[in-house]
Structure 1
């Protein structure tokens, strides 16, 4: 971790950010990036303490990381597959820090199984967490954003949402994952058009391949893909820029992190 302090008077001073899937990896990095620009961050996931998951990383560690750098953060454990947990998440987040200004839908649960073998239960779970949860959470925060004159919603997608191209090769069972991300991207642009007049920006950041615990458990980094691995700072920076940009000129975008930052002419900041 870099020896960097939070800028409590930064561009996000006074804003409240809610980040899902924030116990490790991309979600943790996004929390750190938003906090270091002055946002009050609510981190959410299912893994609050060590032992809650077989993967490394916890909400406690995410919040401690921000606190040690001088930032404000709290965590709320929630299962986004459950409607009641989604509603409770928003209620408790607002009780801790106030209405949500920035919503980052990052949480995911993924199974790589060929279509003919894909269990209905797992299909429904993936769609619930990766598609309906962002939809529902957005429904819950939009009224408050509208009342306060604006807000930012950033959804985390993947190149898996792109259509496969010829010549086809037998994949490793990523069709359902791709369906979820394609649906999330179409939701993003549709919602952006609906809330444009409310000064609410809705965008997508597509990370590419990032070395995270989730990627490792699926074995996605190998000899053929290792040269495509992108530093996690790129994704965190892209989210920050989309969560602080002008909602009238920077909305309805589907952006890949590195080319987006090149377009803006910025380099990713080191993280607290």
Structure 2
């Protein structure tokens, strides 16, 4: 296994029952971190898709660090309020790294999109990451060091046109993309406010689709092989922002471009050479 890049770090990863969140948590544990994993799904009885916090915890414990499970619905403000205190209690101290990965993607045409779903997506995809960031910032600024990584999406970008080239999902990703565009803007503004305090805030999105369980359920039948990047590549980009230097903040990155820019070697989820 490679060097322990996150030795002694306490990390919170949301949306960690499956997909990108579970993979990031595993790689952080492999790199020596103590990890708090957050999601709604604790065991298989609650699962709509494969993957639970229990499954992720079993993977993480192989690496010997502390692991704490936090069941929470991040669309609920009261649940969010207890995430960071429970993580600190379970990991034995203040949080060094927050990875806001949890999200909901509900696709539909804009003209008749239900407003209840609009509010839900903005609450989970933008408000929740900001709320959790606000909870970890005081301790990070007191120590003069911290990393906040927000997982975004290419759907935040505008379609040029007319004519509009919409792709296989049509306009269906519009409201989801709007919530991720809001996340990018909040991240940038937060980074600007915290610049000089040692707290880095960045977002990263996949260049292509990462076919996690949720993504496969949504778009797996319309994505071509050349439109897919590996889970290991996405995780490598996220990890780079979990220990980036103090002056690297306020950026919205694309995963594969970041890997090239930093000259990274993509490793397995266990931190080994591929």
- Is 1:27 matched with 2:21? yes
- Deviation readout 1:127-159 (Å, 9 max, x if unpaired): 100010011111111001011111000000011
2:133 equivalent to 1:138:
yes
Aligned length: 264
Q: Distance in 2 between matches of 1:25 and 1:204?
A: 18
Q: TM-score by structure 1 length?
A: 0.93
Aligned position for 2:209: 209
Specify whether residues 70 and 123 from structure 1 end up closer, same or farther in structure 2 by C-alpha distance, changes over 3 A only.
same
The runs of 4+ residues in structure 1 deviating greater than 4 Å are: none
Separation in 2, partners of 1:270, 1:224: 24
Question: Tell me, which stretches of 5 or more residues in structure 2 are unaligned?
Answer: none
C-alpha RMSD of the superposition: 1.5
Which residue number in structure 1 is paired with residue 184 of structure 2?
185
Matched, 1:260 2:255: no
Indicate the residue corresponding to 1:168 in structure 2. 164
* Bigger mean CA offset, 130-139 vs 114-123: 114-123
Matches within 5 A, 1:179-258: 179-207=178-206, 208-218=208-218, 220-222=219-221, 225-248=224-247, 250-258=248-256
Question: Is 1:11 aligned with 2:10?
Answer: no
Task: Judge conservation of contact 2:159–2:165 (CA < 8 Å) in 1.
Answer: no
Q: Distance in 1 between matches of 2:65 and 2:254?
A: 28
Distance in 2 (alpha carbons) for counterparts of 1:247 and 1:49: 38
Instruction: Measure, in 1, the Cα distance between the counterparts of 2:106 and 2:139.
Output: 34
CA distance in 2, matches of 1:132, 1:54: 24
The CA distance in 2 between the partners of 1:147 and 1:231, in whole Å, is: 37
2:88 corresponds to which of 73, 82, 94: 94
Distance 1:225 1:82 in 2: 36
